[in-house]
Amino acid sequence: MKFKTIIEPFRIKMVEPIRQTTREERERLLAEAHYNLFLLKAEDVLIDLLTDSGTGAMSSGQWAGMMLGDESYAGAKSFYKFETAVRTITGLKHVIPTHQGRAAERILFGSVLKPGDIVPNNTHFDTTRANTEYRGATALDIPIPEAHDPAIILPFKGNIDLAALERTLVENPGNVPLAMITVTNNSGGGQPVSMANIRAASEICHRHNVPLFLDCCRFAENAWFIKTREEGYADKTPLEIAQEMFSYVDGATMSAKKDGMGNIGGFLALNDDAWAQECKNLLILTEGFPTYGGLAGYDLEALAVGLEEVLHEDYLQYRIRSVAYLGDILTSNGIPIVQPPGGHAIYIDAKGMLPHIPQSEYPAWALSLALYLEGGIRSVEIGSVMFGHQPDGSEKPAAMELVRLAFPRRVYTQSHVDYLAEVLLYVNSIKESIRGVRIVDAPPMLRHFSAKMALI
């Protein structure tokens, strides 16, 4: 390429206004929301980086596809397009649509897990963990040890610890119905998993007759990291890389609200006929008939197009670069982030940035409040509020206290990112004034969504 600037590979056809609020207003809004950013109204947020899930902009191709939605209850044309799109990428035999990722998890785990089982994963996402524990099973996180050190720079810091995986399978024969790998590793910093790691994990699992599943929400971003970082993949297309990733596994759960480029949707795909039948029975009970699974025909159309678009090289290059761009600015200004920048988000290391706030006072939660107060930015805590509460009722501090700034797909431009960087540098300059928080009231599971908090 003659020019080195990586541009947004789209032009904007429709706009949605966003609204500035004053610092005074935000102070009041925070108190009204019980110091929980999930409880804010979205219209009171300037730049919303709460999640990259379902928040992306659909393309003209997707919107056009929606007009073709076949809303037949059974056997709709839209389902077969969706099934073909999923099969082209995954090669998996049974494709079961669901309304989002956690529905796929609940249906899979509801069909195959029993109390006392163990599910190893590089790192369970919060809903994956909750759905596993809800079945009375143990969600075992075994990322490589380096994953716990935010400062270490490794190309594939999302890898699963292969020795720990082997040990788990040797020590628990008959109690591990499946193992999982999350690509990219969302709770571990959005870090990718290498092809070599997926291949080796597959070999271990299959030697022990344990099926391996991918939690594949961000499979395309993972494929891009493999293309650009792993030897032997530079000349392969993202589709070819994704196909190889899926060739090593027996099934996958997907939130299509990420790399499906949809605002809603997901799927469970798997090879085993008996498991698929059980899952479909449960699907009919709680989601819908297996050719729509809780989605409208037009959703299936939008996802079929999105699953193709997400693998375009110019899109993936822009996507990964825009996240790294913010990461580079923060790093060069001394703000500690999980290194290297992840695929869909920047994770600020709040323990490193706010050493004056002890973990028991939730430094990452406190930092996320400060970003909203000062700049109208909504982020999310991935730390001890999210993960500290144990199934037995005890508290255990999370391995890391992170603030995740997740980038919606195709939504914000470079000037939005420049604004973000400016706010972050300002907050860093006043960081000694940031106070910790305490939990006033919270439910026992997934408490971060609705907890009432107070400033200390």
Ligand X SMILES: Cc1ncc(COP(=O)(O)O)c(C=O)c1O
Neighbours of 398 (CB within 10 A): 19
Rounded distance, CA 225 to CA 184, Å? 9
Q: Which string of b and e fits 57-93 if b means at least 16 CB within 10 Å?
A: bbbeebeebbeebbeeeeebebbebbbebbeebbebe
Tokens of 395: 């508290």
Residue with Cβ nearer ligand X (400 or 437): 400
Told to check if 255 binds ligand X by CB under 6 A, we report: yes
Establish if 263 lies at the interface with ligand X (CB under 6 A): no
Which range of residues in 4-12, 97-105, 139-147, 224-232 is near ligand X by CB under 6 A? 97-105
Pick from 59, 127, 138, 168 the residue near ligand X by CB under 6 A.
Answer: 127
Query: Nearer Cβ to ligand X, position 44 or 215?
Result: 215
Both structure tokens of 340: 């290297």
125 binds ligand X (CB under 6 A): yes
Which 5-64 residues touch ligand X, going by CB under 6 A? 53
Greatest distance between any 2 Cα atoms in the chain: 61
- The residue among 182 and 322 lying less far from ligand X, judged by its C-beta, is 182
152 in Cβ contact with 188 (< 8 Å): no
- Burial of residue 223 (CB within 10 Å: 0-12, 13-18, 19+) is buried
Stretch that binds ligand X, among 96-104, 110-118, 238-246, 415-423 (CB under 6 A): 96-104
Among 102, 129, 157, 409, binds ligand X (CB under 6 A): 102
CB 213 within 8 A of CB 160: no
Name the residue nearer to ligand X (CB basis): 215 or 287.
215
Give the shortest CB-300-to-ligand X separation in angstroms: 15
132 near ligand X, rule: CB under 6 A: no
Residue choice 186, 222, 291, 322 for contact with ligand X (CB under 6 A): 186
Q: Which of 217, 245, 346, 398 binds ligand X (CB under 6 A)?
A: 217
CB atoms within 10 A of CB 376: 23
- Identify the three-state secondary structure at position 259: coil
Binder to ligand X among 100, 131, 263, 379 (CB under 6 A)?
Answer: 100
Helix %, strand %, coil % for the chain, to 5?
A: 45, 15, 40
Task: Determine how many CB atoms are found less than 10 A away from the CB of residue 150.
Answer: 21
**Among positions 177, 266, 290, 376, the unique one binding ligand X when judged by CB under 6 A:** 266
- Give me the half-sphere count of Cα atoms (radius 13 Å) on the Cβ side of residue 353: 37
Minimum Å distance from CB 104 to ligand X?
8
How far out from the chain centre does Cα 102 lie?
A: 11
110/82 Cα distance (integer angstroms): 24
Alpha carbon separation from 55 to 184, 409, 410 (Å, rounded):
18, 7, 9
Window of 4-12, 125-133, 230-238, 291-299 that interacts with ligand X by CB under 6 A: 125-133
Q: Compute the distance between CA of residue 324 and CA of residue 141 in angstroms, rounded to an integer.
A: 26
Q: How far is the CB of 16 from ligand X (least distance, A)?
A: 22
Q: State which residue, 178 or 357, has the beta carbon closest to ligand X.
A: 178
Stretch that binds ligand X, among 17-25, 76-84, 98-106, 221-229 (CB under 6 A): 98-106
- Rule CB under 6 A: is residue 409 a binding residue for ligand X? no
Candidates 26, 129, 257, 416; binder of ligand X (CB under 6 A) is 257
The residue within the footprint of ligand X, chosen from 215, 250, 259, 301 (CB under 6 A), is: 215
Minimum CB distance to ligand X smaller for 304 or for 427: 304
Residue from 65, 101, 177, 260 touching ligand X (CB under 6 A): that is 101
User: Parallel, antiparallel, or unpaired for β 138-141 and 118-121?
Assistant: parallel
Residue 323 CB, shortest distance to ligand X, in Å, is 15
Residue numbers at the binding site for ligand X (CB under 6 A)? 53, 100-102, 125, 127-128, 182, 186, 215, 217, 255, 257, 266
